[in-house]
Amino acid sequence: MPTYEFAVELTVGDNTAFTVRGALRGLGYEDLERVERSELFWLQLPDDGLTAERCGDALTHAEVVFNPNKHRLAREAKPETDIYEAVVTDVDDDSTALAELLRDRFGIAGLEGVTRATAWRLYDKSGNPADAKRLEWACGSLLANKFSQSFTVRRAPTRIEVK
């Protein structure tokens, strides 16, 4: 069963990322200059289901996750980059209704499930991305609630914009 990863990013100012930047600075990450955030969606399809390209096309019409006036949609491509990101997932997230909506209303035929997460990338004043250790600290300090969320730190995949 293939799983396709898509990232939705704001093309306008991100107040949440701005607030996180201030909070992490206050917690001791004084060199933090920029915070980037992506909403991640993993779509699970059957082996004979839609391709990643067709799923991406369908998502561009799904206003429940993507608004072309303020979002950029990209799909995962290999290889990974040298940038690390923290991926935070709600432990009890039930995306059954979202999967049904995407399958029934937006044409992602055969969609078996959706998993959602938020990816965080941090950059210092020199423009250097945070390393894995710094991201783990940020998750433990602020980005992930240890009672209701889990996180993993990974190398960010290369992403191809869906048009």
Give residue-wise pLDDT tens across range 79-122. Answer: 889 999 999 999 999 999 999 999 999 999 999 999 999 999 99
Q: What is the pLDDT along the chain (163 residues), one digit of tens a residue?
A: 899 999 999 999 999 999 999 999 999 999 999 999 999 999 999 999 999 999 999 999 999 999 999 999 999 998 889 999 999 999 999 999 999 999 999 999 999 999 999 999 999 999 999 999 999 999 999 999 999 999 999 999 999 999 8
What span, in angstroms and rounded, lies between the C-alpha atoms of 40 and 152? 13
Specify the pLDDT at position 123.
Answer: 98
What span, in angstroms and rounded, lies between the C-alpha atoms of 37 and 143? 11
Predicted TM-score of the model (pTM): 0.96
- In 3D space, the residue among 108, 120, 122 whose CA is nearest the CA of residue 34 turns out to be 122
The tokens for 12 are 């306008």
In the chain, what are the domain boundaries?
3-161
